Amino acid sequence: MRDKTVVEYRRIIEKLLVPEFGNLDARQLLPSEIRSFLRSLAKTRPVLANRTRAVLGAIFKWAIKEDLLIENPVSGISRPGGAEKPKERVLTDDELRSFWSVRDSSVVMEVLRLILLTGQRPGEVMGMAWKELDFDQALWELPGGRTKNGKAHAVPLNPQALEVLRRQHESLELQRRKREKRGDPVIDSPYVFPNRHVSKQANAPMQMLRKTVYRITEAASIAPFSPHDLRRTCATRLGRLEVPGHIIDRILNHALKGETNRVYNRYTYLKEQREALNVWGDYLIGIVNSPVVRV
């Protein structure tokens, strides 16, 4: 499993499954008990209920493979949260303008800006390491172990993204000098966005805080959005700027469609990706700096 999946599975097991079923013999656990638990969870958190069902299914599937169980009690249970509709939230010009202008000093704001500017996944941006960045080439090189499809991914950095990264570097240097002046221990984190508790978790990147994102949307006076909505906004706006679909797929590091693209065409289109993201960065700043028209 990917590291992110391992973290999610562990969280569900520790926070939900152990408190509910931890003292029971797995061989005596009835489908009706599982179904009742999942349905109760689905009343308030349908997506989490679906994820929990998937984790239970994986656990019992493993148990059967190891000859610990004969039947999987989850196999006959449908998704308790129902079919999950694809999200469609894309920020408007006014929302982009309001979001970008929020005066929030938290590092989360910089992470959100980078997601919007690069179109990359929130977890990949939060886990960004300094060694992945080449400022001379304006390039971010994601190793395969950090991507959803397991393939290394090169992301051209437009001037606006580089500005965010330089600003973050200056902020970390300022924090470092302050700690030295106070006599506090200084721990160098390999991450661009280190964990808030860097003194305790120096080797961990930051974790996105939903409360902080919600606070930012409140400050911007716009409807709540998720970090992934910013990735979708970037992709949608690239389409409106008439960037070809296969270039957008490469920017997003989506699995390529068609045997020609997957197998035979080894050209990376890095130049075209850079041109597209540069146009997007300039276009976004144009929106941000344009006056609000009141009707």
Q: Which residues pair with 133 in a beta bridge?
A: 140
In a domain, 78, yes or no: no
Express each pLDDT in 188-229 by its tens digit.
788 999 876 544 555 667 766 777 888 899 999 999 899 999
**Which parts of 159-222 fold into alpha helices (H)?**
159-182, 210-220
Contact criterion met (CB below 8 Å) for 57 and 9: no
Verify that 41 and 157 share a domain, yes or no.
no
In a domain, 75, yes or no: no
Judged by DSSP in three states, 152 sits in coil
**Overall number of domains in the chain:** 2
In a domain, 73, yes or no: no
Express each pLDDT in 43-66 by its tens digit.
988 889 999 999 999 999 999 999
Verify that 51 and 150 share a domain, yes or no.
no
In a domain, 201, yes or no: yes
- pTM, to two decimals: 0.74
Verify that 104 and 220 share a domain, yes or no.
yes
Rounded CA-CA distance 11/64 in Å is 23
Which of these, 283, 277, 287, 289, lies nearest to 114 by C-alpha position? Answer: 277
Q: Which residue has 């970037």 as its token pair?
A: 234
In a domain, 169, yes or no: yes
Verify that 54 and 100 share a domain, yes or no.
no
Verify that 133 and 211 share a domain, yes or no.
yes
Verify that 157 and 275 share a domain, yes or no.
yes
Q: How far is CA 278 from CA 130, 157, 160, 177, 253, in A?
A: 22, 8, 8, 34, 17
Express each pLDDT in 55-95 by its tens digit.
999 999 999 999 998 889 998 899 898 877 767 899 999 99
Residues constituting the chain: 295
pLDDT score for 263 = 47
Which of these, 47, 46, 55, lies nearest to 11 by C-alpha position? Answer: 55
In a domain, 81, yes or no: no
In a domain, 120, yes or no: yes
Rounded CA-CA distance 109/129 in Å is 18
pLDDT score for 279 = 97
Residue 46 structural domain: 3-65
